[in-house]
């Protein structure tokens, strides 16, 4: 029954690759697209502070802006409706199957003759495919306003697909058996302090994995954390409330956990070069606050659900014994150290060359050869989840590339605290890396404003699946534990408390933040 669904998804993915492949040609006759922000001639309106006049002027100047943002809005609304669409598809399948049984059809015939409309609805309910689907609409509108050449050049030369490609590779590497076993062993040492109880594993994963993300990148940390949560927690079938609280907490913690360095979190990557933010700057001004917020959030959620964690104890022990037997049968402890070390070297190579696709993709191809040569110590490398996540992110950045016309002036018109709040809200509906990138386009940004927008971007990274690049990876791994898929509204509710805590950690603690570019400092306080 899943075959038709796969064919639809494959068609879209191949079509997208084909568009990129044929892009190119003569660029001389095509206009600069999207037009530079200073081409609108609205510097006076921006200084006046009338944001609605600015946006109105930019729509009048370039009507395509309005259509591009409406398409993006519809795509976001589509993600919120994905669960309902999938539910309708399942009902149609059940009705169709029941009708076929009444007509005397066998189960095999039912399996191989699904209703076409239901399969199409399943495809339109795939969160990872949604933004790619709406890219088709965006392309149609773009071509109607401009021409085919403009769209080709935008896809091939303007939009940067490095991050989606990087996420695909690092997800695949992080999910390998040697890396997962090493991560399990390390986190198991901390879980042992709490007698390896479900609560101890839960706390260890949600505390250490996000911090680890500052060194192995957030996508890798998300993959490891989600897979361990699936194995050590979600298999115990927690209540819906705890399940959503956990995934919301995971997304927020991963989003802020990468702020100890300047290379691990996508929103920080966008600003490190333009603003000269080093890893020491990040650790001094963001990292320790992130750790504090993670600890507070984890403890609040742990004690709120302590009774439910205690109920897991007996089931967890039985499951653990069964897993130990399986592990011994599979010789899980027999992976040579040198193989694990090679895996870590490949991950290090990928992280070090994160901005150079030919290098990290080439390294990944070498890794696949290594994995084949050592297959006795490897598990099956499933590339489908990483590729779907990459496709999701590719669609997201394609839409995000034409949203600067309204995001940049909105960010530039606000004070520090409103800016942080607005960045948090915008992040929920637009990838946080896009928010910070657009903030680098705002002229004369004070250091306190820079701090506020980055704080808001990482704080809001757990509110939705699209808020932070690693989130789709987590959802892809954990969605099977949520009937009908992860509900966006319930995810936001699960993430709202740690989001508030992280916002307070970043903005309510007074600190003198020194601007690396100017040598001065401005005090960051909640009153700004």
With tokens 């002027």, the residue in question is: 57
Would residue 84 count as lying in a domain?
A: yes
What is d(CA 169, CA 390) in angstroms, rounded to the nearest whole number?
9
Domain of residue 433 covers 164-524
Which residue, among 385, 404, 6, has the nearest Cα to 176 in the 3D structure? 385
> CA 196 → CA 193, 308, 331, distances in Å?
7, 16, 21
For 313, the 3-state DSSP assignment is helix
Q: Which structure tokens are listed for 129?
A: 């495919």
CA atoms within a 13 Å half-sphere pointing along the CA-CB vector of 211: 17
Indicate the pLDDT class of residue 424, thresholds 50, 70 and 90.
Answer: very high
Would residue 144 count as lying in a domain?
A: yes
Indicate the pLDDT class of residue 390, thresholds 50, 70 and 90.
Answer: confident
Q: Which structure tokens are listed for 487?
A: 């509900």
SS3 per-residue string spanning 355-390: CCHHHHHHHHHHHHHHHHHCHHHCCCCCCHHHHHHH
Would residue 39 count as lying in a domain?
A: no
Would residue 25 count as lying in a domain?
A: no
Q: Which structure tokens are listed for 471?
A: 């989130």
Indicate the pLDDT class of residue 494, thresholds 50, 70 and 90.
Answer: very high
Would residue 123 count as lying in a domain?
A: yes
Q: Are residues 233 and 146 in the same domain?
A: no
Indicate the pLDDT class of residue 523, thresholds 50, 70 and 90.
Answer: low
Mean predicted lDDT score pLDDT of the chain: 84
What is d(CA 494, CA 68) in angstroms, rounded to the nearest whole number?
31
Q: Are residues 135 and 193 in the same domain?
A: no
Q: Are residues 101 and 171 in the same domain?
A: no
Q: Are residues 146 and 185 in the same domain?
A: no
Q: Are residues 281 and 399 in the same domain?
A: yes
Would residue 158 count as lying in a domain?
A: no
Which residue, among 505, 360, 413, has the nearest Cα to 42 in the 3D structure? 413
Looking at residue 15, its pLDDT comes to 52
What is d(CA 189, CA 196) in angstroms, rounded to the nearest whole number?
9
The pair phi, psi for residue 329, each rounded to 5°, is -65, -35
Q: Are residues 303 and 432 in the same domain?
A: yes
Looking at residue 80, its pLDDT comes to 78
Q: Determine which of 27-36, 209-218, 299-308 has the lowest per-residue pLDDT on average.
A: 27-36
> Which of 118, 153, 188 is at the close of a domain?
153
Identify the H or E element spanning 513.
strand 511-514
Indicate the pLDDT class of residue 498, thresholds 50, 70 and 90.
Answer: very high
Indicate the pLDDT class of residue 2, thresholds 50, 70 and 90.
Answer: low
Is the model more confident about 106 or about 449?
Answer: 449
For 511, the 3-state DSSP assignment is strand
Q: Please check the confidence at residue 515 and state whether its pLDDT lies above 60.
A: yes
Indicate the pLDDT class of residue 499, thresholds 50, 70 and 90.
Answer: very high
What is d(CA 173, CA 171) in angstroms, rounded to the nearest whole number?
5
Q: Are residues 383 and 330 in the same domain?
A: yes
Q: Please check the confidence at residue 19 and state whether its pLDDT lies above 60.
A: no
Looking at residue 323, its pLDDT comes to 56
In the chain, % of residues over pLDDT 70:
88
Residues 391/218/467/76 CA torsion (nearest 10 deg): 20
For 444, the 3-state DSSP assignment is coil
Q: Which structure tokens are listed for 128?
A: 């990872």
Looking at residue 219, its pLDDT comes to 86
Burial grade of 431 (CB within 10 A; 0-12, 13-18, 19 or more): buried
Domain count, the chain: 2
Residues 6+ apart with CB under 8 A from 338: none
8 Å CB contact between 61 and 40: yes
What are 116-141's pLDDT values in tens digits? Answer: 888 888 888 877 788 899 999 999 99
Residues 6+ apart with CB under 8 A from 509: 289
Q: Are residues 131 and 204 in the same domain?
A: no
> Which of 104, 122, 153 is at the close of a domain?
153
SS3 per-residue string spanning 24-84: CCCCCCCCCCCCCHHHHCCHHHHHHCCHHHHHHHHHHHCCHHHHHHHHHHHHHHHHHHHHH
> Which of 128, 153, 178 is at the close of a domain?
153
Q: Whole-prediction pTM value?
A: 0.75
Would residue 181 count as lying in a domain?
A: yes
Q: Are residues 241 and 319 in the same domain?
A: yes
Q: Which long-range contacts (CB under 8 A, 24 or more apart) does 91-94 make?
A: 92/117, 92/118, 92/121, 93/1, 93/118
Q: Are residues 222 and 310 in the same domain?
A: yes
For 144, the 3-state DSSP assignment is helix
Indicate the pLDDT class of residue 393, thresholds 50, 70 and 90.
Answer: confident
Indicate the pLDDT class of residue 24, thresholds 50, 70 and 90.
Answer: very low
Alpha helices in 401-487 (DSSP H): 404-412, 416-429, 432-439, 447-459, 471-478
Which residue, among 177, 328, 354, 194, has the nearest Cα to 262 in the 3D structure? 354
The pair phi, psi for residue 215, each rounded to 5°, is -115, -30
> What's the mean pLDDT in 40-45?
88
What are 322-372's pLDDT values in tens digits? Answer: 555 555 444 455 789 999 999 999 989 998 898 899 999 999 999 999 999
Indicate the pLDDT class of residue 378, thresholds 50, 70 and 90.
Answer: confident
Indicate the pLDDT class of residue 318, thresholds 50, 70 and 90.
Answer: low
Q: Please check the confidence at residue 18 and state whether its pLDDT lies above 70.
A: no
Q: Are residues 187 and 263 in the same domain?
A: yes
Would residue 35 count as lying in a domain?
A: no
Looking at residue 103, its pLDDT comes to 83
> What's the mean pLDDT in 70-90?
85
Dihedral angle sign, alpha carbons of residues 379, 380, 381, 387 = negative
8 Å CB contact between 513 and 289: no
Which residue, among 124, 159, 81, has the nearest Cα to 395 in the 3D structure? 159
Q: Are residues 371 and 461 in the same domain?
A: yes
What are 444-490's pLDDT values in tens digits? Answer: 788 999 999 999 999 999 999 888 888 988 998 999 999 878 888 99
Looking at residue 330, its pLDDT comes to 47
Which residue, among 119, 132, 76, has the nearest Cα to 488 in the 3D structure? 76
What is d(CA 400, CA 159) in angstroms, rounded to the nearest whole number?
9
């Amino acid at each position: 029954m899943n075959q038709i669904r796969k064919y639809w998804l494959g068609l879209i993915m191949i079509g997208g690759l084909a568009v990129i492949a044929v892009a190119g040609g003569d660029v001389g006759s095509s206009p600069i697209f999207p037009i530079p922000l200073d081409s609108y001639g609205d510097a006076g309106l921006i200084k006046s502070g009338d944001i609605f006049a600015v946006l109105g002027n930019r729509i009048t100047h370039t009507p395509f802006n309005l259509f591009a943002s409406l398409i993006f809005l519809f795509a976001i609304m589509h993600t919120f409706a994905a669960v309902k669409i999938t539910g309708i598809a399942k009902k149609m399948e059940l009705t169709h199957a029941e009708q076929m049984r009444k007509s005397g059809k066998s189960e095999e015939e039912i399996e191989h003759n699904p209703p076409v409309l239901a399969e199409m609805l399943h495809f339109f309910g795939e969160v990872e495919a949604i933004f790619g689907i709406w890219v088709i609409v965006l392309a149609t509108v773009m071509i109607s306003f401009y021409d085919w050449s403009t769209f080709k050049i935008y896809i091939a030369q303007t939009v940067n697909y490095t991050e989606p490609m990087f996420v695909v590779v690092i997800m695949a590497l992080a999910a390998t058996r040697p890396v997962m076993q090493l991560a399990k062993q390390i986190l198991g040492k901390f879980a042992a302090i709490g007698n390896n109880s479900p609560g101890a594993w839960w706390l260890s994963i949600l505390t250490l994995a996000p911090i680890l993300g500052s060194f192995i990148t957030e996508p890798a940390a998300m993959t490891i954390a989600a897979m361990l949560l699936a194995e050590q927690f979600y298999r115990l079938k927690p209540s819906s409330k705890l399940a959503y609280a956990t995934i919301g907490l995971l997304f927020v913690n991963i989003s802020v956990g990468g702020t100890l360095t300047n290379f691990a979190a996508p929103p920080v990557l966008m600003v490190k070069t333009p603003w000269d933010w080093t890893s020491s700057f990040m650790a001094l001004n963001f990292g320790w606050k992130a750790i504090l917020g993670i600890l507070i959030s984890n403890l609040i959620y742990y004690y709120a659900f302590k009774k439910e964690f205690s109920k897991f104890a007996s089931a967890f022990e039985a499951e653990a014994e069964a897993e130990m037997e399986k592990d011994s049968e599979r010789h899980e402890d027999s992976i040579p150290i040198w193989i694990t070390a090679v895996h870590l070297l490949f991950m290090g190579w990928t992280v070090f060359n994160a901005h150079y696709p030919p290098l990290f993709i080439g390294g990944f191809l070498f890794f696949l050869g290594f994995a084949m040569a050592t297959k006795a110590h490897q598990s099956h490398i499933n590339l489908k989840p990483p590729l779907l996540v990459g496709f999701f992110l590719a669609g997201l950045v394609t839409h995000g590339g034409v949203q600067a016309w309204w995001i940049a002036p909105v960010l530039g018109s606000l004070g520090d605290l409103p800016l942080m709040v607005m960045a948090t809200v915008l992040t929920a509906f637009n990838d946080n890396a896009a928010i910070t990138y657009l903030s680098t386009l705002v002229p004369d940004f004070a250091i306190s404003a820079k701090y506020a927008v980055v704080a808001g971007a990482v704080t809001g990274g757990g509110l939705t699946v699209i808020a932070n690049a690693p989130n789709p990876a987590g959802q892809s791994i954990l969605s099977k534990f949520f009937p009908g898929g992860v509900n966006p509204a319930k995810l936001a509710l699960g993430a709202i408390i740690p989001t508030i805590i992280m916002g307070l950690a970043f903005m309510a603690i007074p600190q003198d933040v020194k601007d690396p570019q100017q040598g001065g400092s401005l005090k960051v306080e909640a009153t700004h």
